[in-house]
Amino acid sequence: MSDGSSFYITTPIFYVNDVPHIGHAYTEVAADVLARWHRQAGDDTWFLTGTDEHGQKILRTATANGVTPKEWADRLVESAWQPLLKTIDISNDDFIRTTDERHEVNVQLFLQRLFDAGYIYTGEYEGYYCVGCEEYKADSDLVDGTGEYEGQKVCAIHSKPVELLKERNYFFKMSEFSQRLLDLYEENPNFIQPESVRNEIVSFVRRGLTDLSISRQTFDWGVKVPWDESHVVYVWFDALLNYITAAGYGYDDEAFASRWPATHIVGKDIARFHAVIWPAMLMAAGLEVPKQVFGHGWLLVGGEKMSKSKLTGIAPNQITDTFGSDAFRYYFMRAINFGQDGSFSWEDLSARYQAELANGFGNLASRVIAMVTRYFDGVIPDAGVLDAPDQAIRDTEVRVTAAADAAISRLAIHEAIAQVWQLVDELNGYITLQEPWALSKDPANRERLGTVLNTAVRGIGTLAVLLSPVLPVATSKLWTALNGAGAVSDQPIRSAFDWAGGTTVSALEPLFPRIETSETDGSAA
Ligand code: ME8
C-alpha cells in the first residue's frame, strides 16, 4: 500500500583505506534497489550511505602514503567513493562521513549521555586487536600463521598477525544487555535476517556478552572522548552512530523522529556489530533499536571471498565500462539469492546479458515498438475484444506486481526480479504465438492486430515501471519511447499495470547493445 510509511535504509559506511571493489558496489546496489522501489511506491524513503574514516587502519594507510589521515580520506572520498555512486547509479539521499561535524559532535553527545547514565567505566584492556577488522579478538578468533607469519597467531579473516594491546580504556557495560537482546531476537524474529545469520548471532549472545572497550589512548585519529580528551572513541562505536547522526540525532529532532529506525543492509561479516553492539548502545541511550539488520552473503571470485588484500578485487567500472550500469545492477541482483553467497564470473555475466537483457527484455521492447511503428504509423492501437491469451497477459501483470512487491518487503530482491521476468517471458511467448506479422497481412485481422499490439505495449510499459528500480537507464529510455507521462521512476510501482502512457510510440535506441566477448575467458574483448 502507498501509505507513505517511512522507509529509512542504510549501507555500511565503508573504510577509506582503499578504493571500492564490486563487493562494496553490491551492497550499494541492493540498498539502492530497495530504496528506489519504496520511493516509487510512495513511501517516505531516505537512503543513507557514506564513509568510515577514523581508526588505526586509515591512520596507518595515510601515514604510509605521507599524508594526514584527513587528507587521505578527502582524496579517497573525492576520487573513488563518491564517483562509485555515479558509476552504478546510486540514488542516495545523503552521504555521511565520520569526519563531518554533525557526526563528531553528536557522537560526543551520545557518549556523554551514556556516561551520565552510568553505562561507562574505566578499566584495563588486555588482549588482541586486528587492525584489518578494527576489532578486539578472542583467542577462538585466531589461527596459526603460515609463511612469513609462521609461529605467530593471526586473524582468521585477514591472515595477518594481531597486536597485543594493554591499555587503560573506557568500557561500555554491554554485558548488561544480553537478556534484552535475546528477548528482542525472540519477539522480533525478523530483526536479524537471513535465518543463517540470525542463528549465528543468537547463539553468540546466548554464550553471554562481555563489556566492550570503547576508547583508545595510543593514537589520536578519532572523535575525542568528551570528558577525557586523552582518549579517542573506538572506531566501531563511532561508526555505528552514523546511522543516527545522519538522521538528525542531537540537532534535528523532527527529522530524527520521522526517519529512525532504519533497515540496515550489511555484509554478514559485520552483522554482529549491527545486531549486538548497536542495539545494545541504543538501548542504553533509551532509543529505538533498528527495524532490521540484513546480513547479505559474499561475492566469491574463484571460490574465495573477493577482497582487495587477496588480489581478487574487481573494480566496478571494469564491468560497467563494457556492460553498462544497468547490467551490473541486474546481474548481481538476479544471479545471487540475496542473503546467500554467490560466485561472480565473466562468463555468467556475459551469458545473462545476452540471453536475459538483450534477447529477453531489450528485443521484446524494440520489436513491439517497431511493429506499432510499422503497422500503425506509431499510433498505439486500441484493444478490441480480449481473447484468453490477452487476458492472461493482463492477469500476469497484476499478479507479478503484487508478488514482486511482497518479495521486496522480505528483501528477496532476486525473487522480485524473477517474478517480473515471468512477464518478460510470457510476453515473448505471446508475441511468438499471436504472430502480429502474420495478422498484418490480412486487413480482416486489423482489429485483432490492434488488440495484440495494444496488449504488448501495455505489457512493456508495465515492465518499464516494475524494472525501473533495477534498470533505471534502460527503463527510462523505454518510457521515453512509449511517451509515458512524467518520469518512469515516478510511476506508482504497486499499481504498475495501471500506467498511463501516451497515444504514440517514438523510436527506441537499443537498450542492451551487442557486446563482443573473447571466446577463451568469456571476458569482454
Ligand atoms: O566493515 N562480498 O567497512 P568495509 C560482498 N567500515 N560484500 C562485500 C564483500 C564481498 N566480497 N567485500 C566487502 C566496514 N563487502 C566498516 C563498516 S558500518 C557502521 C562500518 C561489503 O569497507 C559488505 O557490505 O570493510 C561488507 O559488510 C562491507 O563491504 C565491509 O566494508
Calculate the alpha carbon distances from 132 to 52, 96, 138, 233, 299 in Å: 13, 22, 15, 17, 19
Measured in Å, residue 15 CA sits from the centre of ligand 1 at 8
CA-wise closest residue to 390 among 455, 446, 438: 455
Asked if residue 522 has pLDDT above 60, the reply is no
pLDDT tens, 373-421? 999 999 999 999 999 999 999 999 999 999 999 999 999 999 999 999 9
Asked if residue 71 has pLDDT above 50, the reply is yes
Q: What does the DSSP 8-state code read for residue 490? A: G
Q: Which residue matches cell numbers 536475459?
A: 356
pLDDT at 271: 98
pLDDT tens, 145-203? 999 999 888 998 888 999 999 999 999 999 999 999 999 999 999 999 999 999 999 99
pLDDT at 5: 75
CA-wise closest residue to 472 among 464, 461, 462: 464
**Helices vs. strands in the chain: H and E counts, helices first:** 21, 18
Q: Which residue matches cell numbers 524513503?
A: 45
Query: Does the C-beta of 299 come closer than 6 Å to ligand 1?
Result: yes
419: phi then psi, degrees, rounded to nearest 5:
-60, -50
Asked if residue 507 has pLDDT above 80, the reply is yes
Measured in Å, residue 80 CA sits from the centre of ligand 1 at 15
pLDDT at 474: 98
Binned at pLDDT 50, 70 and 90, residue 310 comes out as: low
> From the alpha carbon of 295, which atom of ligand 1 is closest?
27
Whether residue 365 contacts residue 478, with contact meaning beta carbons closer than 8 Å, is answered with yes
CA-wise closest residue to 424 among 361, 368, 466: 361
Average pLDDT over residues 256-283: 98
Measured in Å, residue 145 CA sits from the centre of ligand 1 at 24
Query: Does the C-beta of 306 come closer than 6 Å to ligand 1?
Result: yes
Beta strands (DSSP E) in 398-459 are none
CA-wise closest residue to 381 among 391, 367, 371, 393: 371
Asked if residue 81 has pLDDT above 60, the reply is yes
Query: Does the C-beta of 171 come closer than 6 Å to ligand 1?
Result: no
Whether residue 254 contacts residue 282, with contact meaning beta carbons closer than 8 Å, is answered with no
Catalytic residue IDs: 21, 24, 130, 133, 155, 158, 305, 308
User: 156 is written with which cell numbers?
Assistant: 582468521
In angstroms, the CA 269 to CA 180 distance is 23
Compute the CA torsion angle 453, 454, 456, 457 (nearest 10 deg). Answer: 110
In angstroms, the CA 82 to CA 422 distance is 35
Q: Convert 308-366 into a string of H (helix), E (strand) and C (coil).
A: CCCCCCCCHHHHHHHHCHHHHHHHHHHHCCECECEECCHHHHHHHHHHHHHHHHHHHHH
Percent of the chain scored above 90 by pLDDT? 91
User: 339 is written with which cell numbers?
Assistant: 542473503
Query: Does the C-beta of 239 come closer than 6 Å to ligand 1?
Result: yes
Query: Does the C-beta of 26 come closer than 6 Å to ligand 1?
Result: yes
Measured in Å, residue 306 CA sits from the centre of ligand 1 at 11
- CA 110 vs. chain centroid, Å, equals 27
In angstroms, the CA 170 to CA 328 distance is 44
Query: Does the C-beta of 96 come closer than 6 Å to ligand 1?
Result: no
In angstroms, the CA 277 to CA 237 distance is 8
Q: Nearest residue CA, atom 8 of ligand 1?
A: 23
pLDDT at 456: 98
User: 213 is written with which cell numbers?
Assistant: 572497550
Residue 220: other Cβ atoms inside 10 A: 13
In angstroms, the CA 335 to CA 218 distance is 45
Calculate the alpha carbon distances from 450 to 324, 387, 437, 440, 497 in Å: 35, 12, 12, 10, 19
CA-wise closest residue to 463 among 362, 380, 324: 362
Q: Which of the listed residues 269, 294, 337 should we mutate to test ligand 1's pocket, taking the one with most ligand atoms within 8 A of CB?
A: 269
Residue 426: other Cβ atoms inside 10 A: 18
DSSP sequence for 106-143: HHHHHHHHHHHTT-EEEEEEEEEEETTTTEEE-GGGEE
CA-wise closest residue to 454 among 524, 363, 506, 385: 385
Q: Nearest residue CA, atom 10 of ligand 1?
A: 23
Binned at pLDDT 50, 70 and 90, residue 274 comes out as: very high
Q: What does the DSSP 8-state code read for residue 489? A: G
pLDDT tens, 197-237? 999 999 999 999 999 999 999 999 999 999 999 999 999 99
Backbone CA torsion sign across 305, 310, 311, 316: positive
Measured in Å, residue 48 CA sits from the centre of ligand 1 at 15
CA-angle at 208, arms to 205 and 211, nearest 5°: 105
Burial label for 338, CB within 10 Å (0-12, 13-18, 19+), is: buried
Q: What share of the chain is helix, strand, coil (3-state, %, to 5)?
A: 50, 15, 30
pLDDT at 309: 65
Query: Does the C-beta of 133 come closer than 6 Å to ligand 1?
Result: no
pLDDT at 2: 37
Burial label for 256, CB within 10 Å (0-12, 13-18, 19+), is: middle
Q: Which of the listed residues 9, 155, 270, 278 should we mutate to test ligand 1's pocket, taking the one with most ligand atoms within 8 A of CB?
A: 270
In angstroms, the CA 172 to CA 449 distance is 72
Measured in Å, residue 24 CA sits from the centre of ligand 1 at 6
> From the alpha carbon of 27, which atom of ligand 1 is closest?
24
Average pLDDT over residues 130-147: 91
